Chain A
Amino acid sequence: MNRLIATFRKDMTMSFRSFYIYIEVIMAVIIIGVLLFVVPENFQTESHVYMYANVEAEMQDMLIEMMNGQAAEGMVLEWTDSEQALYAALEADRSSSGVMISFENEKPVFEFVLQGYESQSVRNILEKAFLAESVQMVSGYQSSINLVILDETAEKLPDRINLLPVLLVLNSALIGLFIITSYIYIDKDEGTITAYSVTPAATWQYLLSKMGMMLFTGTLTGLLTVLAVAGSRVHILHFLIFMAACNIFGSALGLLVSSFFNSMTKSLGALYVVVIIMGLASVSYMMPAFSPLLIRLLPAYPMLYAFRQTLLSHPDLGYIYFWAAAFTAAGLILFVFANLRFSKTLTV
């Protein structure tokens, strides 16, 4: 135990004198800065629709009043004076769409002006939405839509906070993959692993100390980020326990991957692939409709949702602690394999 503590203290001293730990902290600060000052608390969901009514003046005022009153939630109607003005507005705002209204034989004619990138399904939705709106104007119409909410406790996180799990997974939980490998290759290059190997200290103590260092920096940067962005919303204890579990898993995975290579350059490719694959889980997290089984099987997938749970008012503790135990167990198994491999290859 004394050897492990001495090695850990030495590793911490050295990490504070090298730049890797500062890279992690700086990355955390950048993430905090971007989330607080660049990313809005909620993404804009309003869509602008530029309108032009090719009708007489009195008719136009009536039309504007009626249409504005019927506009769906999140839809902002902007009225223009001419067809040219409508086209100009659409060119200036490429996320908008346009509608021109005219009358033929006393019947209203709606002409949609789109940007061109909209898919057929979007075009259909737009058409049906206008149709539905029109139907509601028919006297005596009654909606038969019955809305049933399955999960009354379902909580929506503000968009800014909802992004946190993605960044926590990449910067704090899985960062160990790269950094732990760097530390090992620094020791290899200096030859200090060889010197350490001719002492009574064992390989597992060497590796565990490195994991401890990753645990410290990962937890520190994770806590810093989550406190700065989510404040008191985060459940600190659950968060710390889950972050520790993810870090153990990430570092042990990094150790195992790097044990198959004899240089940092060679291992970088493999580590890059691992991180990119893990990163795919964030696509499903951001777009839950796209969650194929292959992505749901990635360890990063439950990591993202468990981190999300630690930010909810009523977290699902069963989910958090099940995955915390699973990642800790998986990390320990990976560590045992990494230790076996390094015991044979560390000094050869």
Chain B
Amino acid sequence: MIDAKELTYSYSKGKKNAIEQISFSVDEGEAFALLGPSGAGKSTTQGILTGLLPIQQGEATVAGTDLHHLSRSMFNKIGVSFEQSNVYGKLTALENLEFYRKLFDGSAIDPMTLLKQVGLDQVADKRADTFSKGMKHRLTFARSMINQPQIWFLDEPTTGLDPAIASQIKQIIKERKASGTTILLTTHNMVLADELSDKVGFIIDGQLKLVDTPRNLKLRYGEKLVQVEYKTEDTVKSELLSMVDEQERKRLGDIIHQYEIETMHTREATLEEIFIKVTGRGLV
């Protein structure tokens, strides 16, 4: 459904590339997460694939459309949820969705159904400029589904949302994924990527460093860890120790013998830890 080959893009006429030689593909029904810190090139990549930025170098096909010969009909097949909310403040939530529904060919989802899904049905007739940041974000998210897209581009879909709403949004994404929607997720939230994606790509300084499934990455780069909390004379201390490293295994043995253990859990390395290990950089 998405095929990107050696995409290179520069905002400064070739002086500095925002992305360089990016190649990846996303199959039908697959969820692919592009992970990286701010300024890594995630949004530029998504901008090119959604036709917002012109393709400068490389090849890309989205829903069967060659982006060198962009056709407006491609947009009937895709939906884009932006990181920055961009709804018409002077229109109500319902009017916003009603308007966008008319721009697409084919069947669209009933706006009220969408508003209900994202918890905005009670404020359907209120103008969007009276909404909180989170409400605008949910409206932007709802709008991206209105044409029942085959390919869904999600840019930081849960950023800035309270945990309950974020969980609701994740549930909607999971349901659409289960129904066969192809998803390209760009985020710096590794937990979200781990939970929703079939495949992840680490992008940093405009270069795609690695593409694989979260499971393979964990097997390849992760190590079994033990998080232990123990009591010393007057404080509770916590340590994260590797079960692969001999010294750290010995340290765990010492702690167990010398101190009173409060809690002890084994856990896998997170995607964030693997990202840092692979790229040598954090996510902020």
Contacts and interface: CB of A to CB of B under 8 A. Distances in A.
Contact of B82 (A3, A13, A194, A200): A194
B88 A190 contact: yes
B53 A199 contact: no
Interface string B101-131: 0111100000000000000000000010000
B103 A6 contact: yes
Interface string B189-205: 00000000000000000
Contact of A3 (B51, B80, B87, B102): B102
Contact of B88 (A10, A202, A344, A348): A10
Interface string A1-41: 01100110010011001100000000000000000000000
B168 interface: no
A194 B95 contact: no
Contacts of B90: 13-14, 17-18
Contacts of A199: 75, 100, 103-104
A276 interface: no
B104 A13 contact: no
Contacts of A150: none
Contact of A200 (B73, B87, B143): B73
A198 B75 CA distance: 6
B75 A200 contact: yes
A191 interface: yes
A212 B82 CA distance: 29
Interface string A182-220: 000000001110111111111000000000000000000
Contacts of A17: 90, 127
A347 interface: yes
A347 B72 contact: no
Interface residues of B, number: 30
Contacts of A7: 99, 103
Interface string B73-93: 101101010101111111100
A192 to B, nearest CB: 5
Nearest to A193: B86
Contacts of B95: 10, 13
B64 interface: no
A10 B87 CA distance: 12
A194 B78 contact: no
Contacts of B50: 198
A196 B143 CA distance: 11
Contacts of B160: none
Nearest to B53: A348
Contacts of B104: 199-200
Given A195-B143, A348-B53, A6 B99 contact: yes
Given A3-B103, A199-B103, A200-B104, A14 B75 contact: no
Contacts of A347: 52-53
Interface string B212-229: 000000000000000000
A139 B78 CA distance: 99
B102 A14 contact: no
Contacts of A2: 102
Contact of A190 (B75, B76, B89, B105): B89
Nearest to A205: B103
Contacts of B51: 197-198
A195 B53 contact: no
A126 B104 CA distance: 76
16 contacts: A3-B103, A6-B99, A7-B103, A10-B95, A17-B127, A191-B86, A192-B86, A192-B87, A194-B82, A195-B80, A195-B143, A196-B103, A198-B51, A200-B103, A201-B72, A344-B54
Given A13-B91, A196-B103, A202-B72, 19 more contacts: A7-B99, A7-B103, A10-B91, A10-B99, A14-B88, A14-B91, A17-B90, A190-B87, A190-B88, A191-B86, A192-B88, A195-B80, A198-B50, A198-B52, A198-B75, A199-B104, A200-B73, A200-B75, A200-B104
Interface of B: 50-54, 72-73, 75-76, 78, 80, 82, 84-91, 95, 99-100, 102-105, 127, 140, 143
